[in-house]
Amino acid sequence: MKGVPLRIEIGPRDLEKNQVRMVRRDTGVKMDVMRGSLVERVKHLMEEIQRDLYVVAKRKLEERIQRVETWDEFKEALRNKKLVLAPWCDEVEVENDVKENTKGENEAGAKTLCASFEQPELSKDTLCFAAGKPAKKWTYWGRSY
């Protein structure tokens, strides 16, 4: 049953009543549905489940992002297993240094993950969190676990 978003149960009593029982995996909510309206109800519920799961996943992602501007803030955010948004000079050598300087005994070093299309404002005096050079963009950083 793992991964099945919607379970449909049909027992002898359900057959007598011309209905089925549907159970949502994400909420555990059970509902009895007449067999004649089953297809439409399943379509509606699958869309609702998808929307609800997306909202929860987006909220969890946003809660795990931490915006930093300094090396010390960066290291602390990594220790707390955050997805880090930091100003970066966009230089491969700096990324390699960050990766090397954040390696742990049993942990991979941090690396760039992506640059958001929607960039926070980057003033001219904003410096790269790792190199102290002028930052060119905000970039997401993290570890591979």
d(CA 142, CA 44): 37
CATH fold for domain 68-142 = Translation Initiation Factor IF3 (3.30.110)
The tokens describing 90, both together, are: 């966009």
pLDDT band at 106 (very low <50, low <70, confident <90, very high): confident
pTM above 0.75, yes or no: yes
Q: DSSP label at 5?
A: S
pLDDT at 137: 97
Q: pLDDT tens digits, residue range 40-61?
A: 999 999 999 999 999 999 999 9
pLDDT band at 1 (very low <50, low <70, confident <90, very high): low
Percent of the chain scoring above 70 in pLDDT: 99
pLDDT band at 80 (very low <50, low <70, confident <90, very high): very high
6-60 maps to CATH 3.10.20.30: no
The tokens describing 61, both together, are: 């992602």
Closest CA to 74 of 145, 141, 120, 144: 141
* Domain ranges within the chain, ordered by starting residue: 6-60, 68-142
d(CA 19, CA 99): 58
Helix (H, G, I), strand (E, B) or coil at 128: coil
